Structure 1
Amino acid sequence: MMKMIGTAGKIALLASTLMMASCSSAPDAGAEKKTEFNIGWSIYAGWMPWPYAQQAGIVKKWADKYGIKINIVQVNDYVESVNQYNAGKFDGVTVTNMDALTIPAAGGKDTSAIIVGDYSNGNDGVLLKGANSVSALKGKQIYLVELSVSHYLLARALGSAGLSLSDVKTVNTSDADIVGAFSSPDAQAAVAWNPQLSVMRGQPSANEVFSSAQIPGEILDLMAVDTATLKANPALGKALAGIWYETMALMKRQDAQGKEARAAMAKLAGTTPDVFDKQLTTTFLYDQPAAAVAAADSPALVTTMTRVRDFSFSKGLFKGASSADAVGMAFPGGKTLGDPAHVTLRFDDSFMKLAAAGKL
């Protein structure tokens, strides 16, 4: 499960020009009409429906309906998939709400989140050895991928106990190394995501003192598309929504066909059906379009994105910005957060609404 922002150096590279100079209040009206599109994805339980849909012919079915071609392209490194989207190699990408904000949007690339696919409902957690409370984290060294959703989760955990990030010391550790780091007797605390989290949770005296299940809806997994491309090619949004909800309906079935679909997704993720099904129990999938529309339209989303942008700004992830308001965000119903003249992240519920109404 790859869900990290990446290092500050990567962020600086993505936003090497001042954000204020590159942002715009509306997508480029001159975007070209196209018939072929590339969508990037990386391995994570909530994103495995996309490659499965391609394998099963669901992608082709919906693309053919709208007279287009959609290529679902795997990138082994999550950060690199977002970087490639940011550079224009992909028309869309699977991405978290935080990364959509801090990489393309903060760098000036106008991006629309058109499918709210799921939220982490326990896939991310804070671990502590020898104690079982968040307050016991005070003064500890905590191993995590800095400037990532793990860092955000830690901040939310500490806040729940009246603590702040200044009360602990973080040790930047890659997701590839964090299991080994936490196994050291000197390591007392860590923050990680699945599948690493499940392995680390099994270490002696390790206790999960906080998880993403305690902040439901805050670590969101999205399908994001370049806004100008989407405006010029609305068929892409319709096809992607059709693909997602048809695949959701199939994978949620408890019969042999549903089991077969989940097993195929597990294989694509490089794991077993049992492990994949277990990961799904801590992934809240918005398998019904009406539920996804409700999530996108809820005031809770604005509250969540306020927390996310304030944290991101405090960590220097809005390069060139003088305040957290510099990156504008738009929400359904005309709501905005930040500078309305420089909106570069848009939560667009229109395609989910079409799916909910059976009008795709």
Structure 2
Amino acid sequence: MKLLKELALAGTIAISISSAWNVADAAEKISVAHSTWIGYGALYIAKEKGFFEKAGLDVNLQIIEASSDAIAAMQGGQINVVASTMDNFALFTGNGADLEVLTALDESAGGDGIVAKKEIATVADLKGKSVGVQKGSVSQFLLAQALNKAGLSLEDVHTIDMKSGDAGAAFVAGSVDAAVTWQPWLSKAAATDFGKILADTSSMPGLIVDALAAKSDYANEHKTEMKAFVDAYFEGIAFMGKNPAEGHEIIARNLKMSTETLEGTLKDVRFFSKQDNAAFFSGDRSPAFALVSQAGEFYQKIGVLRSTPDAAKVVGVAGELAK
């Protein structure tokens, strides 16, 4: 009898181990590329707290700073999912990348903006002034929208092409009248005795939105896995809301910054909740559709697009996954 019990126990253990191996083998491997932007940090929370694993996913997070490099890696099959801005996805799609957005992550809420000399009172006063801005980028997109609200266009200012960080540095050095840049250069410019923040994304909600996208065929062939991925990500967001100290520590450690530095910049970003994401992609003419359309029209107007992206196709899968 004792021998029979031992054999039965051994059989149970063997079955349990075999089942565990089968689950591990069955886990869908998903590689995600992102830059070191804090808005992507909740991906690490979902991974470290086991939300991806619980959903049957083996998620590998990789840092690739340039979106163009990440998109190239995705096109080549080395990466499954890429994090970037919605306008960037419009740009890449219009230039031949067949991709679809999966979910929105966050929006800039003061982290990007225009700095100017103190005597420039309003955006309208930029007319005829020199502005450092990276052409064909989200910074130029931001500048164009701000100028449009003030009744101006890009043709009304003297733009000097430079990367966003360099534009901030050039302004602090006194080389340009204004610059389109991001933190920490916004704060550095405001700290000078001659500069100020003229406008930032805290007054432009929904303009710079970060998201995740995948190749169209991958997104459509793996909808079940992508739905599980998106839901697990938002479990990470919910966890951070309830456990901010632990959530911030996970983000800071993985992005290799101090918790103090992270918390000092969190005011400039607004993470999307699951409900925010659903609202962003809700309806045939959703805010996401409008943003991709707006960005596509802008980039085509300035001559950096081969064709206008199909906004409905770009955001269609995300609308399904958000339900």
TM-score, length of structure 2 as denominator length: 0.83
**Over the residues paired in the alignment, what is the CA RMSD in angstroms?**
2.3
d(CA) in 1 for partners of 2:165 and 2:153?
A: 27
Other-structure match for 1:45? 38
Bigger radius of gyration, 1 or 2?
2
Instruction: Give the 3-state SS of the residue equivalent to 1:245 in structure 2.
Output: helix
Q: How many residue pairs were aligned?
A: 295
Other-structure match for 1:317? 304
Amino acid corresponding to residue 292 of structure 1 in structure 2: N
Q: Does structure 1 conserve the Cα–Cα contact (< 8 Å) formed by 2:114 and 2:197?
A: yes
1:307 aligns with 2:307: no
Instruction: Give the 3-state SS of the residue equivalent to 1:83 in structure 2.
Output: helix
Other-structure match for 1:329? 311
Other-structure match for 2:144? 155
Change (3 A) 1:266 1:290: same
Deviations 1:63-103 (A, max 9, x none): x3xxx432121213344223322333211111111111111
Amino acid corresponding to residue 314 of structure 1 in structure 2: K
Deviations 1:126-167 (A, max 9, x none): 110122311121111111222111101101111111111001
1:198 aligns with 2:183: no
Other-structure match for 1:12? none
Q: Does structure 2 conserve the Cα–Cα contact (< 8 Å) formed by 1:109 and 1:344?
A: no
Deviations 1:186-230 (A, max 9, x none): 322000122333333322221212212222112111111222112
d(CA) in 2 for partners of 1:169 and 1:92?
A: 37
d(CA) in 2 for partners of 1:211 and 1:271?
A: 24
Q: Does structure 2 conserve the Cα–Cα contact (< 8 Å) formed by 1:296 and 1:347?
A: no
Instruction: Give the 3-state SS of the residue equivalent to 1:252 in structure 2.
Output: helix
Amino acid corresponding to residue 134 of structure 2 in structure 1: V
Instruction: Give the 3-state SS of the residue equivalent to 2:253 in structure 1.
Output: helix
Other-structure match for 1:283? 269
Other-structure match for 1:27? none
Change (3 A) 1:238 1:344: closer
The counterpart of 1:136, out of the listed 105, 112, 125, is 125
Other-structure match for 1:350? 320
Amino acid corresponding to residue 278 of structure 2 in structure 1: V
Other-structure match for 1:250? 239
CA shift for structure 1 position 252: 1.5
Q: Does structure 2 conserve the Cα–Cα contact (< 8 Å) formed by 1:292 and 1:352?
A: yes
CA shift for structure 1 position 267: 2.9
d(CA) in 1 for partners of 2:129 and 2:146?
A: 14
CA shift for structure 1 position 247: 0.7
Q: Does structure 2 conserve the Cα–Cα contact (< 8 Å) formed by 1:40 and 1:75?
A: yes
Gaps of 5+ in 1: 1-32, 331-342, 354-360
Instruction: Give the 3-state SS of the residue equivalent to 1:302 in structure 2.
Output: helix
Other-structure match for 2:281? 296
d(CA) in 1 for partners of 2:186 and 2:35?
A: 18
Q: Does structure 1 conserve the Cα–Cα contact (< 8 Å) formed by 2:135 and 2:162?
A: yes
Instruction: Give the 3-state SS of the residue equivalent to 2:281 in structure 1.
Output: helix
CA shift for structure 1 position 304: 2.7
d(CA) in 2 for partners of 1:259 and 1:79?
A: 33
Change (3 A) 1:352 1:345: closer
d(CA) in 2 for partners of 1:347 and 1:35?
A: 19
Amino acid corresponding to residue 50 of structure 1 in structure 2: L
The counterpart of 1:83, out of the listed 72, 84, 99, is 72
d(CA) in 2 for partners of 1:200 and 1:55?
A: 37
**Percent of pairs identical after alignment?**
22
Change (3 A) 1:90 1:79: same
Other-structure match for 1:336? none
Q: Does structure 2 conserve the Cα–Cα contact (< 8 Å) formed by 1:111 and 1:345?
A: no
Q: Does structure 2 conserve the Cα–Cα contact (< 8 Å) formed by 1:132 and 1:207?
A: no
- Stretch deviating more after TM superposition (198-207 or 214-223): 198-207
Change (3 A) 1:58 1:154: same
d(CA) in 1 for partners of 2:124 and 2:253?
A: 40
Q: Does structure 2 conserve the Cα–Cα contact (< 8 Å) formed by 1:42 and 1:74?
A: yes
TM-score, length of structure 1 as denominator length: 0.75
- Stretch deviating more after TM superposition (75-84 or 208-217): 75-84
1:111 aligns with 2:99: yes
Gaps of 5+ in 2: 1-25
d(CA) in 1 for partners of 2:260 and 2:194?
A: 25
**Within 5 A, what are the aligned runs for 1:60-71?**
60-62=53-55, 64=56, 68-71=57-60
